[in-house]
Amino acid sequence: MDISSLNIKKILIIDLAFIGDVILATPLTRAVREHWPTAEITMLTVPLTEEIAQMNPYVDGTIVYDKRGAHRGLSGMWSIARELRRYKFDLAVCVNFALRGAVVAWLARIPYRLGYDAQHGGLFLTWAASHIRKGIKHETENHLEVLEPIGLSTKDLSMRLIPPEKAISSMEEKYGRYGIEKGQYYVVCPLGSYERKNMPMPMAAQLIRELSKKLPVYLIGGKGEKIELDGYAKAGSLPDGHVFAGTLSLQELAVFIQNAAGLATVDTGPMHIAQAVNCPTAAIFGPTDPKVWGPRNENSSYLYSNEPCSPCWGKGECKDNICIKKFKAKDLYEKL
């Protein structure tokens, strides 16, 4: 079937993964937009990542699939599928390996459905791409593989987010409230999605102290990381009010990172946000592979010791976390 011969006017991109994954799918959405410049492109996301998808310049709108709440279970899947039918999408692109996206697209009666063959997803798809990755390459390139069955790609692999005016205005108010000068502060994100990604506290504390000699330093993280981040701030001798733990929306966070002099981080969502808003970034990697997940912008770099046991995704038998601990604060400081 020749995709160019089809009358595609409304496209649904289904991405039900995490913050970083939705950002890393930017080249995929760009490729779709380049091929169908006048189509209406909507992204189906989970509640957490809706704000991220709304900043994607190649997406016209978002729909939320609350798979752990209002759309939980099989009845919830039927419910979201019925909702999607009303939009009369012509094409669905299922970005993730999980079967859920392909099933929802099928239940929504979207006539053309593209996705991966993982977990028998091909049974519900018009075109199925192989889930077996073709070598080790960056995740932005991996995402593009789902488009291969219909012959689409893009030469521009950059990530891009554009914060909305409401987030910019909101951050302007916060800058005034906290006495923060745009472009004159560093951001440090020391905690990842699991413990073995984290910066050791002695390293982070020394990094904070060194950066603070040049510009004010602010720590960022999730609401549930507040106590731990307060400990990092205390160890680094930061004054009160220099920890933002779940106090900024994701769109405000994008503005905050965009206006920073630089970000020092572990492998986590804010690192990908920084790449998408072109903030200079220095990242430290251990249990994950920077060739797949690392920063790629010309103003960014990373540290990676390439231990024989890495990447282990935090599931290895190592108890010393040597892949992270072998680096010193000065190593990351010099990178930044």
Which domains are assigned to the chain? 3-150 (3.40.50.2000), 165-335 (3.40.50.2000)
Amino acid at 13: I
138 within 8 A of 300, measured Cβ to Cβ: no
pLDDT value of residue 162: 98
pLDDT of 1 > 80? The answer is no
197 within 8 A of 260, measured Cβ to Cβ: no
pLDDT of 321 > 90? The answer is no
Task: Give pLDDT tens digits for 222-261.
Answer: 999 999 999 999 999 999 999 999 999 999 999 999 999 9
The candidate with the shortest Cα–Cα distance to 254, out of 33, 96, 56, is 56
pLDDT value of residue 320: 78
- Residue range 13-35: mean pLDDT, rounded: 97
Q: Which residues contact 84 (CB under 8 A, 6 or more apart)?
A: 12, 44, 63, 104, 105, 108, 110
261 vs 201, 234, 251, 282, 335, CA distance in Å? Answer: 22, 22, 18, 12, 13
Q: What percent of the chain has pLDDT over 70?
A: 100
pLDDT of 211 > 80? The answer is yes
pLDDT of 322 > 90? The answer is no
pLDDT value of residue 191: 97
Q: How far is CA 323 from the centre of its chain?
A: 23
181 vs 27, 238, 274, CA distance in Å? Answer: 32, 17, 18
Instruction: Cis check for the bond before 190: say yes or no (omega within 30 of 0).
Output: no
The DSSP code for 261 is S
Dump the DSSP string for 41-76. EEEEE-GGGHHHHHT-TT--EEEE--TTTTT-HHHH
Tokens linked to 40 = 């209406």
Q: What is the C-alpha separation between 167 and 185, in angstroms, rounded?
A: 19
290 within 8 A of 302, measured Cβ to Cβ: yes
Tokens linked to 34 = 């380049």
Task: Give pLDDT tens digits for 34-81.
Answer: 999 999 999 999 999 999 999 999 999 999 999 999 999 999 999 999
pLDDT of 130 > 90? The answer is yes
Q: What is the C-alpha separation between 2 and 6, in angstroms, rounded?
A: 7
Average pLDDT, rounded, for the chain: 95
Rg of the chain (C-alpha set): 21
| DSSP-assigned beta bridge partners for residue 42 | 12, 61
Q: What is the C-alpha separation between 39 and 152, in angstroms, rounded?
A: 15
Please provide residue 246's backbone torsions phi and psi, each rounded to the nearest 5 degrees.
Answer: 75, 10
Q: Which residues of 310-325 are buried (b: 16+ CB within 10 A; e: fewer)?
A: bbeebeeebeebebbe
Task: Give pLDDT tens digits for 299-313.
Answer: 999 999 888 888 888
| DSSP-assigned beta bridge partners for residue 282 | 264, 301
